[in-house]
Amino acid sequence: MDNSQITQVKARKIFDSRGKEAIEIDVIASHVLGRSSSPSGASTGRWEVRSYPNGGVKEAIRFVEDVVSPKIVGIELDVKQIDLVLHEIDKSTDFSRLGGNTAYAISLATAIAGANSRGVPLFSYLSESNQSEVPYPLGNVIGGGMHARGGKTDIQEFLVLPTKSETFVSAAEANMGVHRKVANLLEKKGVDVSGRGDEGAWVVPLETEQALEILSEACSRVSDETGVKLRIGLDMAASTIWDEQEKVYIYQRDKRKIHEDGQIDFVIELANKFHLGYIEDPVHEESFEAFSEITAKTSNTLICGDDLFTTNVERIKRGIAEKAGNAVIIKPNQIGTLTDATQTAKISKQANYISVVSHRSGESCGSEISHLAVALTAPIIKLGILGGERMAKINELIRIEEILGEEAKMAKIGI
Q: Which residues are catalytic?
A: 199, 331
**d(C-alpha 265, C-alpha 165), whole Å:** 32
In sequence order, the β-bridge partners of residue 15 are 21
Nearest to 357 by CA among 365, 47, 276, 367: 367
Amino acid of residue 221: R
Alpha-carbon separation of residue 48 from 100, 197, 241, 294, 336 (angstroms): 9, 23, 18, 24, 9
Q: Which amino acid is at 16?
A: D
Residue 260 identity = E
**Which parts of 110-213 are beta strand (E)?**
133-134, 136-143, 157-164, 195-196, 202-203
Q: What type of residue is 356? A: V
Identify whether the C-beta of residue 235 lies closer than 8 Å to the C-beta of residue 187: no
Angle separating helix axes 208-226 and 260-273, nearest 10 degrees: 30
Of 363, 301, 285, 353, residue with least CA distance to 331:
363
**In contact, 110 and 34? CB cutoff 8 Å:** yes
Q: Radius of gyration over alpha carbons of the chain, in Å?
A: 21
Residue type, 37: S
Helix 288-297 × helix 313-322 angle, to 10° = 50
Q: Are strands 32-37 and 21-29 parallel, antiparallel or unpaired?
A: antiparallel
Helix 338-350 vs helix 79-90: crossing angle, to nearest 10: 110
Cα(157)–Cα(139) distance, integer angstroms: 9
The DSSP bridge partners found for residue 243 are: 248
Contact by Cβ (8 Å): 152, 199: no
In DSSP terms, which residues pair with 234 in a beta bridge?
Answer: 158, 279
Helices (H), ranges, 323-387? 332-335, 338-350, 368-375
Rounded to 5 degrees, φ, ψ at 404 are: -70, -25
